[in-house]
Structure 1
C-alpha cells in the first residue's frame, strides 16, 4: 500500500482513502483517526481542563458523581457514563454500570474460580468487572 503526505498550510486538514474495497480494518482506522482529536473536559476546583482521550485511564461513577482518571490526576465530569460510551473509541470498554476502562492501561487480569475478573491497571489500581459484563469482556479479549 502506498502512503503519501501532502503538506499545505493553506488547506484544512483532511484524509482521503483511495481503495478497491472497504474492509473492517479500514473502518477501524478511519474511526480511530476521527476520534483521535476528541477532547473531553474535566473540572477541578474552579478550573476546566481539556483532557486528551489517550490520557484517560478510566471513567468512574462514585457517590453519584462521574470522575475521569488520567495517569496524573482525577477530574470531575459533567457527562454521564452512557454519554461517554457514545464518543469513546473501541479501546474503552464498560466493565460495570458505573465504570469504563481504557484497555491500554491494563497491566493484567486476575480470574477467580467463581468467574469474576479483577483488572490490575498499570498504576497498580484495581477495577472489578461486574458479572453482567464478564462475558462481554471475555469476548473482547478473546479469552
Structure 2
C-alpha cells in the first residue's frame, strides 16, 4: 500500500481518495477505520468530582456489585455507564472483552502469563493485572496478532 498526502492551502476541506484495482478486505478495513470516531474522553466519578479520562490511559474497565469502574495506575474510578456501553464506546480505542465482567485495553498490555486452567494473566504497563477467561483468550490472541505482536514475548 502506498500513501500520498497533499497539504495545500487551496483545499477548503479534507478529502480522502482510495485507489485500488478491486474492493479487498484491506480497502474495506481502511474505509471502516476512516469512518470511526474515537471518543476523546470518558467521564468518571470520584467522591463528588467528575473526572475526564483519556481512553488510552485506562488499563481495564470492570463491573462489580452492579457498578462499573475504570482502572488507571492501580486506582479505580466509577463510571456511570453499563459495561456493554463502555465496551462499545472504547472498542475503537483497542479495548476488547477479557471476561464476562472485564473489558481491557490491548494497547496497555505489557506481558502475559498462561495459567494452568487455560486463563491468561495479563500484566499492564502500569503494573496492574487482570485475567482473561478461556472463552476470550482466542479473541485477545487474534487482536494482538493483528497488530503484529506475539503472546510469547
Partner of 2:148: none
Gaps of 5+ in 1: none
| Equivalent position SS for 1:50 | strand
1:1-143 matches, cutoff 5 A: 1-5=3-7, 15-21=14-20, 23-27=27-31, 29-31=33-35, 34-35=37-38, 37-71=39-73, 73-88=75-90, 89=92, 91-142=94-145
CA spacing shift, 1:99–1:31, aligned 2, 3 Å: farther
Q: Please report the TM-score for the alignment, with normalisation by the length of structure 2.
A: 0.75
Distance in 2 (alpha carbons) for counterparts of 1:99 and 1:82:
10
Structure with the largest fraction of strand = 1
Write the distance in 2 (CA, Å) between the matches of 1:137 and 1:6: 41
Q: Give the whole-Å Cα distance in 2 for the aligned partners of 1:31 and 1:53.
A: 19
By how many angstroms is 1:135 displaced? 2.4
Give the superposition deviation at 1:141. 2.8
By how many angstroms is 1:72 displaced?
Answer: 7.5
Q: TM-score, normalised by structure 1?
A: 0.79
Give the C-alpha shift of residue 6 in structure 1.
Answer: 5.3
Instruction: Indicate the RMSD between aligned Cα atoms, in angstroms.
Output: 2.6
**Deviation of 1:113 (Å):** 3.9
